């Protein structure tokens, strides 16, 4: 038998499948990890079998060892990886790494788990509940599996650090086989409140081994500390029932749940997830920010105790591996996480819910440049299940698909509870005429004063962190830039240093201009740090918190801020766009947007859309509870259509105006944008010119009607120059272009003379 494998090597020059001879009789080898000899020195490398190969009569090296008894990648996962490689024009390694991340490849092993504790089994396991399969002879293990005395499971090899004393609950629907000791533990947890391991061992007189085994199987799960009081589903409104039934009964795989802020979209997710759970299927709930995962987990754990897992980059490697194993082994769970949770290895997929689907954070721009929406839709087409997008401000591209391949469901909300908070626009030019040169307008200060006087909370939003945005010399005009990037450095008052927000470098704030020696250095622009400082000076009695990338860098800080807001320990919360994305604090009655113009004048065809969405989302944080709220938006461009429509929360008029603009200037969804990025330290200009000629040659040869722009110099980042080339291509020509680009890219990497230059392709970015 011939098998084709991929190696986890991030070298584009070897981006291909390698064929090996396999002398075993395992017809189900596809999806398993193997050890193969690689390169001239035949160095043993771990690889994954992706398919059965063709025997072309060539002499091949042989597979040394098969590591897994069960496939670690399912057929649908392999199909997804192959499709991502094609659609996102990328390598095998980048396409499969999210499906088999490092914490799985290097942190998960196969073990045999006892099902029956008879004399034969006891002699092999020597008191252990589980044993690595490699420690049991193959023929003996086969016989024990066939006799149903043991089962093969995955186990994490890295320790999971416990932050608190964890308590456990029995999974109500688990009915798998158990040893006598395990059954004793399971029955105890089934008929008692959550217990810690110490409490379990004290009550049963057993060791922790049966508990650990039950946890690995998913029969016992950690209890959420905030889920002591179970949450019951509320009485649903007619529009929620209609949406739930419409999505559940529909034959279409992709749905948009469109409802204004506070209209109950999360309850629809939970009701549909319950239906999936009743059928033994799992659901994924994807949120745009890690901080929102905490809020979502609190709600879900109260409704589904012991059934919720969390997956995101701030979890430890051991925690992620443990969650990965639970998801793979036990159907009927709910996964909450940020972007990468879309790759969760659930055995039976019910739903993928993508909350705040319009968010740009769902577009990953490093390594595998993927879009979460595309991945989700690929998954349900391979595995079954449905994608549900949820948003109060859907992306223009998604909304344009409604009626064609996306089914639209509207939530109108409860008119008594979802009355929108009034939004006031303040023209900052008039503030200047009145002599107010402060950061906040008079109306903004009044709003804060009223909230503080009423013992309520306020949120101030500015989409830039730091104290000032750049430092310039007023004598010669020199702007201090990063030594490694063509980007102005941002002054941070807390560290009294200049920071580069692209590469992370810092340097001391100079006393004099490095060019002319003048002492007239001035900080321009404002950020969250300066707004926080201004507020503390203006309202010294107020408890002010800041929420941005700087303050949230430490693990657990999201949870701390979330809890502090809910416990009313914060009066004013200042932050960046992470505040806009779904945070639900019922005591917030005032929201202020300090500078609505920051997202307007950027080189991005989505600038108006992002501004509308951001302002609408931020304003929606006010008046979420019983108390009426209001919002104030400061701007120097009050007549801009995105700001005006955001004030009125008029999505459909905005959508139609935006579609007119995109049709006029040829932007998605009318065309696809294909951008080629050339980065490196070599002759970037020549490589860029060659790629432009290549695009023009493809255009002519394939008789496309593609528009190819000239190469554009982008800011240097981390001492690497960056040039991009933009092509606009019609939908019918899009797939043929991607195939042609993939062939060219493979040829480039195998023949390139400039080893220090990398090429990446971005779609509709």
Binding site per annotation, positions for Zn(2+): 473, 476, 482, 485, 500, 503, 513, 516
Q: 702 with 736: CB under 8 angstroms?
A: yes
Dist CA 429 CA 635 (whole Å): 8
Among the listed residues 362, 441, 360, the one whose alpha carbon sits nearest the alpha carbon of residue 613: 360
Token duo for residue 236: 């649903």
Residue 136: DSSP 8-state? S
4-15 in b/e form (b: 16+ CB < 10 A) is: bbbbbeeebebb
Dump the DSSP string for 31-56.
T-EEEEEETTTTEEEEEEEEEE----
Dihedrals φ, ψ of 233, to 5°? -65, 135
Q: Which residues pair with 707 in a beta bridge?
A: 728
To 5 degrees, how large is the angle CA 22–CA 26–CA 31? 85
Among the listed residues 423, 413, 395, 319, the one whose alpha carbon sits nearest the alpha carbon of residue 645: 423
Dist CA 526 CA 429 (whole Å): 17
Q: Is the dihedral of CA 370, 373, 376, 381 positive or negative?
A: negative
Pairing of strands 672-680, 707-708: unpaired
Token duo for residue 693: 């000629």
End-to-end CA distance of the chain: 43
591-607 in b/e form (b: 16+ CB < 10 A) is: bbbbbbbbbbeeeebbe
Burial status of residue 180 (CB atoms within 10 A of its CB: 0-12, 13-18, 19 or more): exposed
The length of the chain in residues reads: 765
- Give the residue ranges of DSSP H helices in 384-480: 396-400, 428-433, 442-453
Residue 65: DSSP 8-state? E
Dist CA 615 CA 750 (whole Å): 47
Token look-up 């939004």 returns 423
Q: Which residues pair with 65 in a beta bridge?
A: 35
C-alpha 337: how far from its chain's center? Answer: 7
**Which residues belong to the annotated binding site?**
473, 476, 482, 485, 500, 503, 513, 516
Dist CA 301 CA 333 (whole Å): 11
Dist CA 719 CA 127 (whole Å): 58
Dump the DSSP string for 630-696.
EEEEEES-TT-HHHHHHHHT-HHHHHHHHHHHHHHHT-TTSSEEEEEEEEESS-HHHHHHHHHHHHH
Among the listed residues 364, 268, 321, 42, the one whose alpha carbon sits nearest the alpha carbon of residue 160: 321
Query: Residue 478: CB partners within 8 Å, gap ≥ 6?
Result: 472, 513, 514, 515, 516
To 5 degrees, how large is the angle CA 760–CA 761–CA 764? 145
Among the listed residues 674, 544, 682, 568, the one whose alpha carbon sits nearest the alpha carbon of residue 627: 568
């Amino acid at each position: 038998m011939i098998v084709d494998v991929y190696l986890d090597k991030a070298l584009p020059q070897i981006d291909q499948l390698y064929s090996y001879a396999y002398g075993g009789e395992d017809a189900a080898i596809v999806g398993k990890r193997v050890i193969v000899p690689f390169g001239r020195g035949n160095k043993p490398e771990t690889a994954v079998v992706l398919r059965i190969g063709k025997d072309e009569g060539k002499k091949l090296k042989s597979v040394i060892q098969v590591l897994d008894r069960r496939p670690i990648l399912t057929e649908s996962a392999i199909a997804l990886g192959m499709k991502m490689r094609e659609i996102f024009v990328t390598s095998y390694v980048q396409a499969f790494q999210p499906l088999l991340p490092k914490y799985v490849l290097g942190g998960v092993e196969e073990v045999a788990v006892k099902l029956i504790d008879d004399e034969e089994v006891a002699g092999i396991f020597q008191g252990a509940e589980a044993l690595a399969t490699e420690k049991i002879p193959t023929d003996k293990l086969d016989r024990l599996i066939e006799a149903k005395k043991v089962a093969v499971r995955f186990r994490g090899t890295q320790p999971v650090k416990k932050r608190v004393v964890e308590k456990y609950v029995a999974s109500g629907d688990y009915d798998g086989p158990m040893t006598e000791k395990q059954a004793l533990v399971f029955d105890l947890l089934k008929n008692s409140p959550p217990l810690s391991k110490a409490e379990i061992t004290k009550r049963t007189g057993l060791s922790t081994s049966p508990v650990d085994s039950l946890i690995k199987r998913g029969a016992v799960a950690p209890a959420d500390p905030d889920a002591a009081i179970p949450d019951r589903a509320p009485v649903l409104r007619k529009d929620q029932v209609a949406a739930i039934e419409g999505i559940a009964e529909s034959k279409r795989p992709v749905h948009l749940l469109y409802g204004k802020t506070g209209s109950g979209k999360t309850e629809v997710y939970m009701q549909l997830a319950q239906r999936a759970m009743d059928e033994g299927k799992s659901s994924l709930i994807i949120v745009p920010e890690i901080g929102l995962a905490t809020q979502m987990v609190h709600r879900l754990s109260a409704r589904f105790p012991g059934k919720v897992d969390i997956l995101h980059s701030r979890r430890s490697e051991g925690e992620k591996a443990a969650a990965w194993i639970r998801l793979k082994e036990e159907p009927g769970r709910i996964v909450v996480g940020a972007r990468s949770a879309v790759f969760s290895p659930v055995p039976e997929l019910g739903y993928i819910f993508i909350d705040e689907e319009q968010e740009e954070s769902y577009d990953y721009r490093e390594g595998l440049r993927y879009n979460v929406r595309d991945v989700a839709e690929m998954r349900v087409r391979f595995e079954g299940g449905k994608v549900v997008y949820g948003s109060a401000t859907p992306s223009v591209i998604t909304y344009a698909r409604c009626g064609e391949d996306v089914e639209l469901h509207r939530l109108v909300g409860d008119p008594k509870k979802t009355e929108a908070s009034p939004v006031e626009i303040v023209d900052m030019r008039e503030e200047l005429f009145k002599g107010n040169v402060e950061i906040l307008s008079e109306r903004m200060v009044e709003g804060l004063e009223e909230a503080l006087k009423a013992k309520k909370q306020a949120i101030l939003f500015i989409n830039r962190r730091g104290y000032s945005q750049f430092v310039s010399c007023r004598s010669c005009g020199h702007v201090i830039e990063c030594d490694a990037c063509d980007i102005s450095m941002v002054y941070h008052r807390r560290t009294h240093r200049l920071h580069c927000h692209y590469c992370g470098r810092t340097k001391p704030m100079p006393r004099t201009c490095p060019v002319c020696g003048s002492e007239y250095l001035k900080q321009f622009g404002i950020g969250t740090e300066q707004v926080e400082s201004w507020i503390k000076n203006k309202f010294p009695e107020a408890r002010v918190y800041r929420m941005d990338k700087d303050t949230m860098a430490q693990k657990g800080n999201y949870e701390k801020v979330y809890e502090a807001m809910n416990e009313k320990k914060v009066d004013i919360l200042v932050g960046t766009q992470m505040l806009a994305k779904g945070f639900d604090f019922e005591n917030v009655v005032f929201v202020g947007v300090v500078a609505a113009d920051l997202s307007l004048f950027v080189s991005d065809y989505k600038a108006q859309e992002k501004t509308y969405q951001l302002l609408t989302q931020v304003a929606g944080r006010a008046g979420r509870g019983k108390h009426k709220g209001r919002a104030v938006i400061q701007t120097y461009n009050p007549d801009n259509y995105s700001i005006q429509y955001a004030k009125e929360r008029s999505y459909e008029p905005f959508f139609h105006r935006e579609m007119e603009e995109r049709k006029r200037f040829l932007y998605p969804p009318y065309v696809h944008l294909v951008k080629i990025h050339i980065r490196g330290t070599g002759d970037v200009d020549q490589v860029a010119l060659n790629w432009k000629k290549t695009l023009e040659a493809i255009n002519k040869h394939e008789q496309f009607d593609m528009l190819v722009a000239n190469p554009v110099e982008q800011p240097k980042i981390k001492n690497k120059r960056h040039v991009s080339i933009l092509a606009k291509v019609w939908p019918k020509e899009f797939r043929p272009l991607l195939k042609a680009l993939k062939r060219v890219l493979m040829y480039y990497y195998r023949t390139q003379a400039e080893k220090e230059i990398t090429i990446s392709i971005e779609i509709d970015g």
